[in-house]
Amino acid sequence: MNSLRISQLRKTFGGLTAVNDLSFSVEAGEIVGLLGPNGSGKTTVMNLISGALAPDAGDIELAGRPIAGQAPHKVAHAGVARTFQLVRVLADMDATENVVAGLAFSREPTWGAQATARAGELLARVGLARHARTLAGELTYIDQKRLELARALALSPRLLLLDEWLAGLNPSELLEGIALVRSLKDEGVSIILVEHVMDAVHSLCDRCVVMNAGAKIAEGTPAAVLSDPEVIRAYLGDASA
């Protein structure tokens, strides 16, 4: 049971309410798109789920266990892994070592030859087999994104948080990326996708939650929410601001 339940989640920064009584859930093997204009609170929600930030109020439960306000390593052990909007890799270590570092922090840590072999499998999975010994800092931007995903998968996540992971890919890389994300869903991983690439949202998301100014303004299938007048107004208002 990989489901995530978020209820009445709230986070303020000084006088600004970045997340305003937000509630939604993600079922096992479901991909939920978290959408909204710039500054609507999406990354803050990801930070609250992963433990990078503690909420001011509200509950977050993963597979029935409360995780809100716990330290990031505890949340990771509970089964939450993430990629970042701005890629974070260990630049002076090679791709294999980056993934081995992830494996050391997983729920069932592995080291040595077993970890190296597992890292090789994960690198192959994300299309990086030929760069196993390339320094992470020397990888292209796209390959660093792949590496970050391999490291997230090293945690054997129940829930994967993808923050604009498909942004900046060329059309063929995008198709590969979409197929990869879909294969994770097929394995039962629950996924929250923060994404501005609408082709990806349409083809991957079972459901979308749309935020504006910290609050949920719509929830439903990609087609339904993206034709919702309030959603269109929120995006156009943002674009013309």
Ligand X SMILES: Nc1ncnc2c1ncn2[C@@H]1O[C@H](COP(=O)(O)OP(=O)(O)OP(=O)(O)O)[C@@H](O)[C@H]1O
> Which among 210, 72, 61, 92 is positioned nearest to 152, based on CA atoms?
72
**Contact yes or no for 19/11 (Cβ under 8 A):** yes
Give 75 or 123: the residue with its C-beta nearer to ligand X: 75
Residue listed under structure tokens 């489901």:
3
CB-side neighbour CA atoms (13 Å) of 153: 23
Please report the sign of the dihedral spanned by the C-alpha atoms of residue 114, residue 145, residue 221, residue 66.
positive
**Options 1, 16, 71, 223; binder of ligand X; rule CB under 6 A:** 16
Residue whose CB is less far from ligand X, 33 or 36: 36
- Assess 118 for contact with ligand X (CB under 6 A): no
Rank residues 18 and 234 by Cβ distance to ligand X and give the closer one: 18
Residues near ligand X (CB under 6 A), total = 11
Answer for the pair 46, 82: CB distance below 8 angstroms, yes or no.
yes
- Least spacing, CB of residue 52 vs ligand X, in Å: 10
Residues 19-48 interacting with ligand X (rule: CB under 6 A): 36, 38-44
Rounded to a whole number of angstroms, the minimum distance from the CB of residue 64 to ligand X is 27
Q: At closest approach, how far in Å is the CB of 9 from ligand X?
A: 12
Question: What's the first-to-final CA gap in the chain, in angstroms?
Answer: 42
CB nearer to ligand X: give 36 or 51.
36
- Residues lying near ligand X in the complex (CB under 6 A): 13, 16, 18, 36, 38-44
